[in-house]
Structure 1
């Protein structure tokens, strides 16, 4: 298995669509370059935020290839999960062939396997594909929780390198971090509002939705927390708090794609059955984005603070 540093900020990228609902590859590449220039630690295309459920397998691979080609020096972790083990394996093999640096595998959804079935599912892919793999637990979407014993068992596999935590259960997440301390295994937040608490109990960073909109500030928050500067990290967490909330007023990625359009980063268009953000929420989202933009302008006018991590200073 190749080494992959799973610490820091990994934006869960959006997939932009044109007026005909075809993938807008030019905008996709530009967005990947914007995020790399902002200092993120990696990119995660074709996950839930990337609307993977509405992409064909060929489109899946094309998005991964486009992001890899667009960036110079950040790893690309491709979403390749499915509720069908054979399908997830095929997507994983194709992403590996395309040059992905790692894989993000959501737990099988809808069919609700038992814990032993989850272990078999993830180990089947890890046995076949020699890339670092992140197991993704989001029971609100899948209907099944990856229990701590299951996560700890999977951590012993040489190709299973991390766990994306989006259960909302900090006790469970902390237990997994605690019980895998002696493994080469990263626990990453999959919920922006939980990133700081998760780092405090042993997490290493975040696969972030908000990182698409405020990558510099998200990187500064995570970097401060990883450096042990919790006063600075808390300040940034609270600055970003309104954005965290607005990005989940409706199903992800509906709000974040609206925010991308407001900021001029890409179209808000989605493939059915997802729809545009309801009008009742847009004004509040615009207000939060304007306030963050104003704070950035005020800081810039007054002199840019040094938000780099200790290691980069």
Structure 2
């Protein structure tokens, strides 16, 4: 799937772990198939939500390979970023070698390069790995911001196909849209609560945490907005609002893993240093999921959610 349309909903997948902390590949494959059946437009394993920071490089590639093998007809966009250009290039090459259709590259964290260093970092990988790549801006995790002018420069590269916007700054995201709207370049929200506003200023979809739990409703909201039906999109946005907020009430992916467990999709096991969701937040999440379940049929005409 060398060419694909970077629009719609791309769940930022969790990585399921067995009680001993090893990767549960069978559940990962099941989850891949569940999300594809739900109508998502693609899948994003081993990003921040996939606890990539606690995976070895070999585990990282094994997760990508499992998702690639389980997915039938949607693109797989593998997280392959690092604060070392050399390391990100290695992960990117290996991910492409096992069949990833695209790459999601977080900006280098902790060492906080200047804008010139960011351009060199991304262009180096794009020159060497011939698959579509998404620049990922999330200042809250990296400590630095990819400026709109930098994004516009990167968008000129034939292999740099999109931008994941997780700055929380809708003005900045709008400027990125303005600077790249004459190019084939996708702007994807990286914050579920801002997906509808991002689409309203010209965005193309979302790399979504909420989409792991409510893929059908998330897809319905995004595609309604992309089709210009903002009345329907707003209704779904507000239905999903409490869940989207609660999935970030503690550090991602702590809440979404609890939600996966509540829904029966996957175990809630996390790797240290992440800890289990606090009891009061767990109870709030259970109540929200129960409410979403109760409105599921009226909202989408679907059977109640649940997993093995």
Question: Residues 32-59 of structure 1: CA distance to partner in whole angstroms, max 9, x if unpaired?
Answer: 0000000000000000000000000000
Q: Give the equivalent residue in structure 1 for 2:305.
A: none
Q: Is the 8 A contact 1:4 1:102 kept in 2?
A: no
Question: Counterpart of 1:104 in 2: which secondary structure?
Answer: strand
Q: Please, what TM-score do these two structures have when normalized by structure 1?
A: 0.95
* Structure 2, unpaired ranges of 5+: 303-308
Question: Counterpart of 2:187 in 1: which secondary structure?
Answer: strand
Question: Residues 115-143 of structure 1: CA distance to partner in whole angstroms, max 9, x if unpaired?
Answer: 00000000010000000000000000000
Taking the aligned partners of 1:30 and 1:89, their CA distance within structure 2 comes to 29
TM-aligned CA deviation for residue 146 of structure 1: 0.3
Q: Give the equivalent residue in structure 1 for 2:116.
A: 116
Taking the aligned partners of 2:177 and 2:20, their CA distance within structure 1 comes to 44
TM-aligned CA deviation for residue 298 of structure 1: 4.6
Taking the aligned partners of 1:49 and 1:188, their CA distance within structure 2 comes to 16
Q: Give the equivalent residue in structure 1 for 2:106.
A: 106
TM-aligned CA deviation for residue 294 of structure 1: 0.5
Q: Give the equivalent residue in structure 2 for 1:311.
A: none
TM-aligned CA deviation for residue 71 of structure 1: 1.4
Taking the aligned partners of 1:72 and 1:299, their CA distance within structure 2 comes to 27
Q: How does 1:1-313 map to 2 (within 5 A)?
A: 2-298=2-298
Taking the aligned partners of 2:298 and 2:81, their CA distance within structure 1 comes to 42
Q: CA RMSD in A?
A: 1.1
Q: Give the equivalent residue in structure 2 for 1:309.
A: none
* Structure 1, unpaired ranges of 5+: 305-313
Query: How many residues get paired?
Result: 302
Question: Residues 243-266 of structure 1: CA distance to partner in whole angstroms, max 9, x if unpaired?
Answer: 011000000000000000000000
Q: Please, what TM-score do these two structures have when normalized by structure 2?
A: 0.97
TM-aligned CA deviation for residue 192 of structure 1: 0.1
Q: Is the 8 A contact 1:270 1:276 kept in 2?
A: yes
TM-aligned CA deviation for residue 178 of structure 1: 1.1
Q: Structure 1 residues 1-10 or 130-139, which shifts more?
A: 1-10
